[in-house]
Amino acid sequence: MDFSLTDEQRLFQEAVRSFCDRELKPYAAQVDETGRLRMEAIAKMPDLGLVGLQVPEAYGGADFDSISAALAMIELGRACGSTGLSIEAHNELCCLPIVRWGTDEQKARFLPRLTSGEVLGSIALTEPDAGSDLMGTQTRATRDGDEWVINGSKAWITNASLAPVIVTLTRTDPGADTHGFSMILVETDRAGLTIAPPEKKMGTRASPAHVLTFNDVRVPRENLLGQEGRGLQQTLATLDSGRIAVGALCVGLAQAALETALHYAQERRAFGQRLADHQAIQFKLADAATQLEAARLLVLRAAWSKDRGENYTKLASMAKLFASEAVERIAFEALQIHGGYGYSREFPLERIYRDQRIMSIGEGTSEINRIVIARRLLDEHAPPV
Amino acid sequence: MHVVVVTKSTPDTEATVTVEAGGNVNWGDKLVVNPWDEYAITEAVLLKGAHGGQATILTLGGEEQQEALKHGLAIGVDQAIRIWDPALQNHDSLGYAAAVAAAIRKLGDVDLVIFGKELSDIASDQHIFQVARRLGWNMIGFVSKIESLDAGAGTIRAQRLTERGTETVTSKLPAVISVVKDINEPKYPTFIGIRKAAKAEMPVWGLGDLGLDASAVSPRTQVAGHRELPKREGTVEMIEGSPQEQAARLVEKLLEEKIL
């Protein structure tokens, strides 16, 4: 067992940290306030590989291992929750399915643009009436000659307004149960696709999330991504990988919360001594640091397992579940340490507290992840028949 | 064209530097690339991009200096060389200049040497001028812009930042320059550079490789001791009264103290 990073991973981590400290962190409050991502920072990301973390170099990506990708997400989360979430969705939910299931033609058509830093990619899974319940997906794609015709609506679609293409989960055979779904690549300039203005959200406010409506949207037959009828399975596999990245974002947000609290506790004085000299505060800091370390190890363990080609579904769910619930507790206590100042928009904790809240909902709620973990666990320990 | 950038890892500018009772300086645990060198490294990479040729990064020091070299490679410098020899353990700026100048000579075909304007830890730049003197090359300090550079004709035209404004000077090449932060916006490492840096072999040149013996670098100066800056004492005085009275009294006070 070896917990040390390789030279390449460590240099990358340091480079991403320095990039985020200069390009994202100083603007995080502004980005949150205006509800707009700083696209000029995203335009600088291709050289570092941040908008093509696991895309092959031939298509403009950096082809990093999963540990490096997780390290990048931690740094992004530490600097700016909104940017982190949009970059996560772009990499994990749009680029990766195309890398994984795209034909050479699809990769050549979409990936160079997606890794250019000028746009961000998007996936459309959730619908107004179907979130965790993926089987409830109603958006229908039917074949008409050489085209797919798509009708329906989607909700909470991150990056849709910034994307050239949306990986869209559709029902292609309503009678075929779990094998009746397919992923289709829908370019955002297709007639009949409407992207509504961004939702007004509690946190990650600059990461735009939209309602989409598909009204007889026609795309060529060759826009099918992967196999017809395998859309649900492809979606679940996409979410497995995404959960490591969301877990990593949580670690970054939690680290930012803890760093802020550590700083404040050593500056602020109460009852004749520094806050940090009060045991009640020390216990909060100790608990936060311990939970943060546990979350970090679980996230990196899941990434390591993915890099080794193992089945990492359970570990990814554990990492996402634990990290997203840990960041809630850590942000809560960090805010508590700040007292009234923590509640003020003048301090970063108020934003971190709001930004972290989505993490136990998006890309698999805590409840869904507990179901995933329990099912795997029970399968692994099924009594002999 | 061959550009050489010379760098050094220095203590983190955010570190709290203390002097221990025995006189040893505690510089903190973390080293960073001398902040001024970020501009020098970027300029070397930009010049290489604009004029072709190669860029080399040099440092003098122990293994702790490797990180600064890797940083240079990650940004786009082609090769990295570390100068080290036990005889350099307590080097002064003259010994430093002798070794660095010898390394630049050994590289052979160098057109331009770039330094950051000073070292952030000792706030000194004399070593830069001494390197230029040792090489017998022109020295242009505090360059804020390279207006033109022609390796073929062997000329450089550069703007210097002075206390009175800017000054444009020309020189023949090879030359040594030091750069200030107006010269560029430091580049970030690229993933391609990071990969190269992670795998790079970085040769270490000892005094033997440089054709020097220990006497060439033996220190001419001795540091007699270090002490901490005196603690700054401040007092706070609250001014009472209405806002108008407070403002008037504040102005009076500032005038009394000759701040206004």
State pLDDT tens for residues A167-191: 999 999 999 999 999 999 999 999 9
Number of structural domains chain A divides into: 3
Q: Which residues of B touch A12 (CB under 8 A)?
A: 191, 194
Contact residues on chain A for B191, CB-CB shorter than 8 A? 12, 47-49, 62, 64
Judge if A255 and A275 occupy the same domain. yes
Q: Note whether residue A316 is domain-resident.
A: yes
Does residue B121 register a pLDDT over 90? no
**Domain harbouring A83, CATH code:** 1.10.540.10
In tens digits, chain A (385 residues) has pLDDT values of 899 999 999 999 999 999 999 999 999 999 999 999 999 999 999 999 999 999 999 999 999 999 999 999 999 999 999 999 999 999 999 999 999 999 999 999 999 999 999 999 999 999 999 999 999 999 999 999 999 999 999 999 999 999 999 999 999 999 999 999 999 999 999 999 999 999 999 999 999 999 999 999 999 999 999 999 999 999 999 999 999 999 999 999 999 999 999 999 999 999 999 999 999 999 999 999 999 999 999 999 999 999 999 999 999 999 999 999 999 999 999 999 999 999 999 999 999 999 999 999 999 999 999 999 999 999 999 999 8
* Mean pLDDT score across all residues of chain A: 97
Is A363 in the active site? yes
Q: What is the pLDDT of residue B234?
A: 81
Residue A213, domain extent: 122-228
pTM: 0.91
Among the listed ranges B35-44, B54-63, B245-254, which one has the minimum average pLDDT value?
B245-254
Three-state DSSP class for residue A274: strand
Query: Are residues A82 and A167 both part of a single domain?
Result: no
Q: How far apart are CA B130 and CA B96, in angstroms?
A: 9
In a domain, A385, yes or no: no
> What pLDDT is stored for residue B227 in this prediction?
84
Residues A136 and A104 in one domain: no
Task: Verify that A191 and A302 share a domain, yes or no.
Answer: no
Q: What CATH code is carried by the domain that includes residue A239? A: 1.20.140.10
pLDDT class of B114 with cuts at 50, 70, 90:
very high
Q: Which residue of A has its CA nearest to B187?
A: A19
pLDDT of residue A259: 98
C-alpha A168/C-alpha B36 separation (Å) is 49
Answer yes or no: do A108 and A176 share one domain.
Answer: no
The domain boundary, picked from A228, A255, A271, lies at A228
The whole-number pLDDT of residue B14 equals 81
In this structure, the answer to whether residues A280 and A364 fall within a common structural domain is yes
Cβ separation of B191 and A11 shorter than 8 Å?
no
Which of B71, B194, B201, B202 to mutate to probe the A interface, most A CBs <10 Å?
B194
Domain boundaries, chain B: 2-217
Q: From the candidates B30, B75, B191, B196, which should be mutated to test the interface with A, based on the most A CB atoms within 10 A?
A: B191
Contact status, residue B40 vs residue B149, Cβ threshold 8 Å: no
Q: Report the alpha-carbon distance of residue A379 to residue A369 in Å, rounded.
A: 15
- pLDDT exceeds cutoff 90 at B218: yes
Q: Which residues, 6 or more positions from A302, have their beta carbon under 8 angstroms from its beta carbon?
A: A243, A244, A247, A312, A315, A316, A318, A319
pLDDT at site A146: 97
Pairing relationship of beta strands B155-162 and B138-150 according to DSSP bridges? antiparallel
Residue A2 lies in a domain: no
Q: What pLDDT, on a 0 to 100 scale, did the predictor assign at position B235?
A: 82
Give residue A383's pLDDT. 93
Task: Check residue B21 and give its pLDDT.
Answer: 82
Q: Is the confidence at residue B231, as pLDDT, over 90?
A: no
**Quick check: B194 and A8 CB within 8 A?**
yes
DSSP result, A155-193: EEEETGGG-SEEEEEEES-TTSGGGSEEEEEEETTSTTE
Chosen domain end from A182, A204, A228: A228
Contact between chains at A47 and B74 (C-beta distance less than 8 A)? no
The topology (CATH level 3) of B2-217 is Rossmann fold (3.40.50)
Kindly state the average pLDDT of the residues B202-222.
94
Task: Name every residue in B having a CB less than 8 A away from some CB of A.
Answer: 70, 74, 188-191, 194-195, 197-199
How far is Cα B206 from Cα B89, in angstroms, rounded to an integer? Answer: 12
Please check whether residue A15 lies inside any domain of the structure. yes
Tell me if B70 and A11 make a contact (CB, 8 A cut-off): yes
Kindly identify which residue of chain A lies nearest to residue B68, measuring between CA atoms.
A11
Residues A77/A253, Cβ–Cβ less than 8 Å: yes
A373/A275 Cα distance (integer angstroms): 40
Does residue A1 form part of some domain? Answer: no
As a whole-number percent, the residues of chain B with pLDDT over 90 amount to: 78
pLDDT band at B232 (very low <50, low <70, confident <90, very high): confident
- Domain final residue pick, A174, A196, A228: A228
**Interface mutation vs chain B, best among A48, A71, A115, A266, most B CBs within 10 Å:** A48
The predicted pLDDT at position B12 comes to 87
Q: What is the pLDDT of residues B51-89, one digit of tens each?
A: 999 999 999 999 999 999 999 999 999 999 999 999 999
pLDDT at residue B28 above 90?
no
